[in-house]
Amino acid sequence: MLGKPKAMALALILICSMQRAAWAAAPPNLKSNRIEISYVQPSNPAHQPIYEALQQRRVLERFKGYLSPLRLPRTLILKTAGCDGESNAWYEDSEHAVTVCYEYIHEVLRNAPEVTTAAGVTRQDAIIGPTIEVFLHEIGHAIFDLLKVPILGREEDAADHVASYLMLHLDKDIARQTVDGVAFMYAHEMQSESPGLKHFADVHGVSAQRFYNLLCLAYGQDPKLFADLVEKKYLPESRGEDCHFEYTQVDYAFRQLIHPYIDQAQVKKVQPKKLLRPARN
Ligand SMILES: [Zn+2]
């Protein structure tokens, strides 16, 4: 007969293994090439140039190709749309759709500096980075939902981690460019964020935390490419010294939970890294 603690431990082990088995059972009908795209005609004429520029640069087609190796149980829709004045982006689980608002892209364009900043961020960095990031962050939410990925901690932090991890796996020059651009965006947001307690109650981290988290993962993944982040004190040394472990933790979670759903034959076919390379114009 088992003592009470032993019986409890056994019950816990059984529950844990049942949960693990439930998760380990992959969702049915997994297939690659399950992305559909839509540029929704804006009702606000001010968004027309953005609508046209996104199509001209084939932004959604690129993400469709980039995500084509992901084996999903159903179609995921990526769309750009007018959002009645709301500068935002989201994943809607009832529609299995990621929406990025023209208002959000408009804000990115408005905030991008005309001339290269003292920190070396170009106008192109400040546009490309946040544009790639917003899609990857929302795609992170979509992956969690569609693949039923278990999440420890806040989902918004986890979606940020997915976005950062994927950005850091682009070609090195693009990874650097996107990190610089997204860091610029967070730094810009920090200036306009009032320091009220309300911000800390939000489901998202405050901009300063998101800024440091991104820099830490970048430095943790490639301390040579991102050495200047610590040298120039954008990332405090006290945080930087353990960033390798923070990156390793995210890398482990991604490999365990998401990597098994990536069709490697399709990866070779489409070379996803190249697809998010900005057009030369
Ligand atoms: Zn989010």
Ligand 1 centroid – CA 135 distance (Å): 10
The Cα–Cα gap between 228 and 170 comes to 19
Amino acid at 148: K
pLDDT at 1 exceeding the cut of 50: no
Question: Quick one: DSSP state of residue 262?
Answer: B
Higher pLDDT, 208 or 15: 208
For ligand 1, the distance from its centroid to the CA atom of residue 1, given in whole angstroms, is: 49
User: Is pLDDT of 10 > 80?
Assistant: no
How confident is residue 125, by pLDDT bands cut at 50, 70 and 90? very high
Beta-bridge partners for 99: 79, 90
**Is the model's pLDDT at 90 over the cut of 60?**
yes
271's torsion region: left (phi>0), alpha (psi -120 to 50) or beta?
left
Cβ atoms within 10 A of the Cβ of 203, count? 8
Average pLDDT, the chain: 91
The full DSSP string for 132-199 is HHHHHHHHHHHHHHHTT----S-HHHHHHHHHHHHHHTS-HHHHHHHHHHHHHHHHHHHHH----HHH
Ligand 1 center from residue 12 Cα (angstroms): 32
The CA 15 to ligand 1 mean position distance, Å, reads 30
- Kindly state the tokens that stand for 142: 């979509």
pLDDT at 181: 98
CA–centroid distance, residue 2 to ligand 1 (Å): 46
Over residues 200-223, the pLDDT tens digits come to: 888 998 999 999 999 999 999 999
Counting residues of the chain whose pLDDT is more than 90, the rounded percentage is 80
Collect residues with CB below 5 Å from ion ligand 1: 156, 159
Closest CA to 40 of 77, 76, 80: 80
Half-sphere exposure of 138 (CA within 13 A, CB side): 23
Q: Which residue has the higher pLDDT, 194 or 270?
A: 270
**Collapsed DSSP state (helix, strand, coil) of residue 37:** strand
Distance (Å) from CA 182 to ligand 1 centroid: 15
pLDDT band of residue 280 (cuts 50, 70, 90) is low
87 Cα–ligand 1 center, Å: 14
Average pLDDT (152-167) is: 97
For 72, 183, 258, the CA distances from 195, given in Å and listed in that order, are 41, 19, 36
Q: Between the CA of residue 206 and those of 166, 232, 233, 277, what are the distances in Å?
A: 21, 22, 20, 29
pLDDT higher than 90, residue 63 = yes
For residue 191, pLDDT beyond 90: no
CA of 160 to the centre of ligand 1 (A): 7
The amino acid occupying position 123 is R
Mean local confidence (pLDDT), 121-142: 97
- What pLDDT is recorded for position 18? 46
Distance 7 CA to ligand 1 centre (A): 41
- Res. 14: pLDDT tops 50: no
Span 239-279, pLDDT tens digits:
999 999 999 999 999 999 999 999 999 999 988 777 888 77
Segment 140-150, tens digit of pLDDT: 999 999 999 99
Confidence of residue 11 (pLDDT cuts 50, 70, 90): low
pLDDT attached to residue 27:
79
Contact between residue 128 and residue 163 where contact means Cβ atoms under 8 Å apart = no
